[in-house]
Amino acid sequence: MSLVGSWELISRFDHTATGEQRVDPALGADPIALLVYDKSGHFAAQFMKRDRSRVVEPSAVAASQNNSRAQGGYDAYFGTYTTDDDNNTVTQTLTGALSQENVGQTLTRELNVLGDELTIQLQTVAASGEPVTRTLRWKRVG
């Protein structure tokens, strides 16, 4: 699997175990995002709420397991990554992050690369406190 390249977000959905969709109030239902993996093992990710005219204050959205925390409708982090082809995972260690508590965090996500489409899944917790599966679909743009 080759993650190397620049990826633009197509969609980002959170679903409960019963299939109900939950919207992340910090980034909204349709955020804009760019994800870059280089061949030397470094990555960077940026997410922005499409309409930042009404943003959720950071204190209203707690940091959740296996996820970073947006501030003011924006989230960004960077660091190093490794892939495990046998288990279809990517593990990212955050060297820097918009939210101070995320610096040094290690995040592991399930992934699938099919041509120029990347799907990443992770288990996390919605703002409501309920567990959700987050699915992010990306297209390679560079």
Summarised one tens digit per residue, pLDDT across range 96-135 is 999 888 999 999 999 999 999 999 999 998 878 889 999 9
pLDDT of residue 106: 94
The rounded distance, in Å, linking the Cα atoms of 85 and 3 is 11
pTM across the whole model? 0.89
For residue 81, give the H/E element and its range: strand 74-84
Buried b / exposed e along 41-69 (16+ C-beta atoms within 10 A)? eebbbbbbbeeeeebbeeeebeebeebbb
Q: Which CATH architecture has domain 5-140?
A: Beta Barrel (2.40)
Nearest Cα to Cα of residue 45 among 57, 32, 64, 54: 32
- Show the tokens assigned to 124: 């996390």
More confident residue, 57 or 119: 119
Nearest Cα to Cα of residue 48 among 65, 68, 66, 30: 30
- Show the tokens assigned to 106: 């290690």
**Does 75 score more than 80 pLDDT?**
yes
Say if CB 104 and CB 91 are below 8 A apart: no
